[in-house]
Amino acid sequence: MKIGLLVCDHARTEFISSDGSYPEMFRRLLPDFDFTDYYVCDGLFPGSPDDQEGWIISGSRRSVYDDIEWIHRLKDFTRRIYHSGRPCIGVCFGHQIIGAALGGTIRKAETGWCVGIHEFEFVAVVPWLNPKLKSANLRMMC
């Protein structure tokens, strides 16, 4: 499967020697996919969502709500991916971009960073959740 990797940051120099940059990390994790890299953080965007069979949006040290041109363009391109019907997943910043592009609210956590297990209440019935639960303890990072 041909996957477009929307690269949203450059890996920190101290990590590149051991882990590589974002494209190398994804290739190591998903060796059966044929990746094409688009450094959207440098303004290098694909022409169309149809250029690839699926999409991955990487992490970034930036915030989705930062007023930066490439982030605005990425939200627009993410909406275009959604309307194309192509599969798309996001990692950290990437999943926040998907949420923001499709109408969700993304904001800075008032409590600052949080990592660990957190109880989440379900506020709506979802057909895929079986058994029906009122809450679930999930790993989180914010």
Let me know: does 71 contact 64? Beta carbons within 8 Å: yes
d(CA 58, CA 10): 10
Let me know: does 102 contact 74? Beta carbons within 8 Å: no
Q: Which residues, in sequence order, are CB contacts of 115 under 8 Å at separation 6+?
A: 140, 141
Ordered by start, the domain boundaries in the chain are: 2-101
Indicate the DSSP class of residue 138: E
d(CA 120, CA 117): 10
What is the CATH code for 2-101? 3.40.50.880
Ordered per-residue pLDDT tens for the chain, 142 residues: 999 999 999 988 877 777 788 999 999 999 999 999 999 999 999 999 999 999 999 999 999 999 999 999 999 999 999 999 999 999 999 999 999 999 998 888 787 777 788 888 888 877 777 777 888 888 876 6
